[in-house]
Amino acid sequence: MHFLNFESFAEKDVMLMSMLRIAYIGDSVWELIVRNHLIRKGLNVHHMHSECIRLVNARAQASFLQSVLPLLSETELEFVRRGRNAHARHPTPKNQHPEDYSLATAFEVLIGYLYLTGSAERIEFISGFILGGNDHG
C-alpha cells in the first residue's frame, strides 16, 4: 500500500497520544483501505459507495475487531483496550449501539496506531484477513 509511505512516529510518541486522536487517523486510513479494495473489484460507483458504507461503520468495524483479536500482539491488544475505553465528548450516534461504537473506536485506534508507527505490512496483513473473502455482512 503505497499511500502508507510517510515519516512515521516513534512508538513511544504514539503511546502518549490521545486514543481519540489515533482513532481519528485510523478511521480515515481504514476508509481509504476499503475504497482502494473496492476500486480493485471493478464495481460501479453506486455499488462502491454501498459497499463502503457496509464496511466502514461501527457494527462492521466491531465485527472486524472481534475477528482479528486472536491475531494481535500484546502491544496491539493494549492499544485496542485503551481505544475501547476512550470516550468521545459526544453521545453515541442514534443509529449505533454503544458497544459497537466502543469496539469500532478500538478498531480505529488499532489501525491508527499501526499507521502512525509505519507498520504498513501489519496493516496489509490485518486488512487482507478482513477483506480477503471473510463475509461480515
Residues marked as catalytic? 27
**C-alpha dihedral (56, 59, 61, 62), degrees to nearest 10:** 170
Q: Are 66 and 84 in contact (CB under 8 A)?
A: no
Q: Which three cell numbers stand for residue 106?
A: 478500538
d(CA 114, CA 33): 13
Closest CA to 59 of 25, 109, 28, 104: 104
Q: Which three cell numbers stand for residue 108?
A: 480505529
Q: Are 96 and 61 in contact (CB under 8 A)?
A: no
